[in-house]
Structure 1
């Protein structure tokens, strides 16, 4: 399944589904209407299923002005717990935004890692971006979504970065797929680490064209598929890779419904999908 939203994000959570990872269809209607945050929108929904079978959902609640993100959970993707606002950046009063929170379950530490992009004007060296658009990645950890570790810097690659996704690609191997958000790039790159919290290597050269964002990664047989929002061309793109160093453009092999905006791919049992279709 693929979490999704529709512009401008007011009507909440949408889903796509696929049986092969290439051909996607939409489920009708919204499954959750956002009610938290300044703007009460839902953008960039990210879902991870915990070891207890509970689906955890986080999302962007406002373009600017919020110092946290939305959170709720469900056992069946139909009935959701009361929505909460998690104010992870309230200790940084000049924070402009909290964008695209992304969930990762760390099996070794038995905890959830949540990473997101925030801009704190004047904090970091910048290029030609405005101070209010010079982002870095931050993180918090939690075991129960009731208590959270203090937010800390997750990634400063030396440039404005957003839309990062942690992928476990080996026993002690992790790949970070990220968007270089500088004006002359705005494309997707990768970095590598031995621990999900890093430190990560220097970012690679871009493996997508410009004006691409919102990556999500799924394992499909021996290959990894990376879907991304090719927003300049108003379509979805995808590449396949076996090593995150060599990438093959597969946009001609995928089918993604019009209007889908980026979320994350996650697996469910067929009966879960069939109950909500």
Structure 2
């Protein structure tokens, strides 16, 4: 019988605080164990796990099998701003994704979180599309509340007759992000010009240390080439000092750093490539002095290659240790729809998650982590709704700032764009609207909620439908981003859907959406819009989104959205994704 990590234990892992074990300071509370996430010599770029109690002697997990089949990259894991674990890698080179992020509450079950595509156009020579964004690494700085993502990239071609040409062109680039959803512009990490790869950043005593591989070829003039060196800065993104003397022999790469279990300093591992052996050095502080460890004092899994080492608390270590016999399903080896969509870079985002009825920001973030479905949270805005004033809108934006979700509002009044500050509205990722509130019984009447059937009557459905189409077009002419529940009809006439929603009327709505850059929601709950409308909209070139439209915090089955991807052959370019907000 298959078994997973017990739910109770998973809950314990969720409650471990981000400050319990710190990579910033080797004198912090003693780790109870370590995780070594790595690739192997035979299976380069894939993910394997090993654990250790002392940081010196390591044992493979999962019976030496891959942990997650969809992973590609040089494994790097760190704890994020909300206490969850973040895994970073990258897909195949032709995808041109510089980094792909997964998230987990327990290190066993990973869900796709986000992708980052690097705009290298500001760096002449580095903007070729056939080159590799190598070894993305992630560091979260609690002081600045920023993630630092680093990777290396070459401005030189691969030459069969001179392989070093490509590696000598390597430079390290970086971006910062508060949430792994929005990113700063790409910049060079170091001001000085030297070939570098495999950079990791750590912090000690308020100073930042970049542990690098000097990628210059060693010579009498450059004796530190192909060795591990360390630079220092007082700020997360520099300026950085010139790198110090080498702390490893030549022809070493992929540094990994963990605190010593006795609290007296650091252990630094580095690989003698290509996959020949691992070496290790130790120092009381990151500034040194460093000396090599006798190889008889440590042992790593045979054929282990690049990766990262992560200090763990007791609940985390015990859970992984107990999971030695965990099934393929427990380690995420069984492909689910999200794995398939992620592999095709199809964004699956629920833009219709209301913060109401018990649904909170924290629950929305947790739902995102558990399901892999990205979340767009929103509140209703309008007279008599949760957001009526600019002060309330400003407060909402401040509460959502820096959170790993898309942020929007649902507008319910038709003059909303004139009643609120434009600068505040620009800070939203999206504005959602529907057509369920309209004047009744005629255009001069008071707005009525069409789902409240005791508030109005429809005596002539055809005449009302002509007014309703004009109402739809009015909504689509507003500066909204998403039209929710397209082709909605109120209960009094919903049984006449095919009669009232003629092809010509559908085309009018779709054309207005395309002309005004409004995406059309495929709703998980309502069954709207129907198949005829979706097929017509796709053929005409409309953009789509998904939405659940919750009323409480209970799960909502999103399978209709998943099925739509396959049934209508939706692809990445068919889906709307908001622009980044800096």
Smaller-chain TM-score bracket:
0.7 to 0.9
Name which structure has the greater RCO, CA cutoff 8 Å, separation 6+: 1
> 1 CA distance for matches of 2:156 and 2:75?
26
2:67 — aligned with what? 31
- 1:84-109 per-position Cα deviation (integer Å, ceiling 9, x unaligned): 44212454632522111111111111
User: Taking structure 1 as reference, are residues 187 and 60 closer, same or farther at Cα in structure 2, changes over 3 Å only?
Assistant: farther
1:61 — aligned with what? 91
Stretch deviating more after TM superposition (83-92 or 136-145): 83-92
Q: CA deviation at 1:64?
A: 7.6
2:300 — aligned with what? 256
Does the CA-based 8 Å contact 2:191-2:239 persist in structure 1? Answer: no
Where structure 1 has 5 or more consecutive residues not aligned to the other structure, the ranges are: 36-41, 123-127
Query: Which of 138, 151, 156 is residue 116 of structure 1 equivalent to?
Result: 151
> 2 CA distance for matches of 1:164 and 1:272?
27
> 2 CA distance for matches of 1:141 and 1:9?
31
Q: CA deviation at 1:263?
A: 1.2
SS at structure 1 position matched to 2:296 = helix
SS at structure 1 position matched to 2:194 = coil
> 2 CA distance for matches of 1:64 and 1:176?
29
Does the CA-based 8 Å contact 2:226-2:250 persist in structure 1? Answer: yes
- Higher strand proportion (structure 1 or 2): 1
Q: CA deviation at 1:18?
A: 1.1
Where structure 2 has 5 or more consecutive residues not aligned to the other structure, the ranges are: 1-34, 158-162, 219-224, 324-582
SS at structure 2 position matched to 1:5 = strand
SS at structure 2 position matched to 1:263 = strand
- 1:29-87 per-position Cα deviation (integer Å, ceiling 9, x unaligned): 2221226xxxxxx2311111124221001114346873512221111112221364421
User: Taking structure 1 as reference, are residues 9 and 140 closer, same or farther at Cα in structure 2, changes over 3 Å only?
Assistant: farther
SS at structure 1 position matched to 2:198 = strand
SS at structure 2 position matched to 1:267 = strand
Aligned pairs for 1:221-260 (under 5 A) are 221-231=263-273, 234-243=276-285, 244-250=287-293, 251-260=295-304
Q: CA deviation at 1:227?
A: 0.7
Q: CA deviation at 1:139?
A: 0.8
SS at structure 1 position matched to 2:75 = strand
TM-score, structure 1 normalization: 0.86
> 1 CA distance for matches of 2:184 and 2:275?
39
Query: Which of 88, 100, 104 is residue 70 of structure 1 equivalent to?
Result: 100
2:217 — aligned with what? 183
Stretch deviating more after TM superposition (253-262 or 63-72): 63-72
2:192 — aligned with what? 157
Q: CA deviation at 1:253?
A: 1.4
Length, aligned pairs only: 265
Q: CA deviation at 1:187?
A: 0.9
Does the CA-based 8 Å contact 1:227-1:239 persist in structure 2? Answer: yes
Does the CA-based 8 Å contact 2:191-2:240 persist in structure 1? Answer: no
User: Taking structure 1 as reference, are residues 232 and 5 closer, same or farther at Cα in structure 2, changes over 3 Å only?
Assistant: closer
1:125 — aligned with what? none
SS at structure 1 position matched to 2:281 = strand
User: Taking structure 1 as reference, are residues 3 and 239 closer, same or farther at Cα in structure 2, changes over 3 Å only?
Assistant: same
What value does the CA root-mean-square deviation take over the aligned residues?
2.4
- Higher helix proportion (structure 1 or 2): 2
User: Taking structure 1 as reference, are residues 10 and 234 closer, same or farther at Cα in structure 2, changes over 3 Å only?
Assistant: closer
Does the CA-based 8 Å contact 1:45-1:60 persist in structure 2? Answer: no
1:219 — aligned with what? 259
> 2 CA distance for matches of 1:109 and 1:142?
10
1:199 — aligned with what? 239
User: Taking structure 1 as reference, are residues 181 and 18 closer, same or farther at Cα in structure 2, changes over 3 Å only?
Assistant: same
